[in-house]
Amino acid sequence: MTGAERLRAHLATGLTNVCRCWRIDRRDGVRLGFTDHDRDLEFGGTLFRADTGMTARSLSQSTGLSVDNTEALGILSDPAVTEADIEAGRYDGAEVLSWLVNWRDVDEREMRFRGTIGEIARGGVAFRAELRGLAEALNRPVGRAYQPACDAVLGDAACG
């Protein structure tokens, strides 16, 4: 039985010991782990630190190719998350993974979200980060559209 199957069986009992864990992999190679549990947890080679002021709003998930977005809220109380790093753009495009975890047995876990950090807003000592799901990449226009109302002028370099 996989860890996710064991977690589902644990959830079916009605009496649960679950928390959320988030891992942020910045593009500069820095990896950070956070949890909303009251003590640190460790799995997959990452230490998920408690008491960091991190929380996440409910994740909107849907079927098909619609975009799953949410946001994370936090207070700049963890020394690993500095305002200078946010201002320098070190979290822009960072990969975010989120799990639902049985804190009594961290092998019982299920990934609930995978995506990237979008826009970050700061206010005082708090911040709000937009989390964009994997389908977000499909919303970006790629290439050029050729249509009757073309944006090029006939005969110029853009026309071809």
Assigned token pair, 61: 């998930």
The string of DSSP codes covering 73-89 is EEETTSTTS-HHHHHTT
Q: Which residue ranges in the chain fall short of pLDDT 50?
A: 58-63, 65-67, 76
- The confidence score (pLDDT) of residue 4 equals 92
- The confidence score (pLDDT) of residue 76 equals 46
Non-local (6+) Cβ contacts of 13 within 8 A are none
pTM of the model: 0.72
**Neighbouring C-alpha atoms within 13 Å toward the C-beta of 21:** 25
Q: Which residue has the tokens 């640190």?
A: 40
pLDDT digits (tens, 9 = 90+) for 89-118: 888 889 989 899 999 999 999 998 888 888
For residues 11, 52, 33 and 103, what is the CA-based torsion angle, rounded to 10 degrees?
A: -30
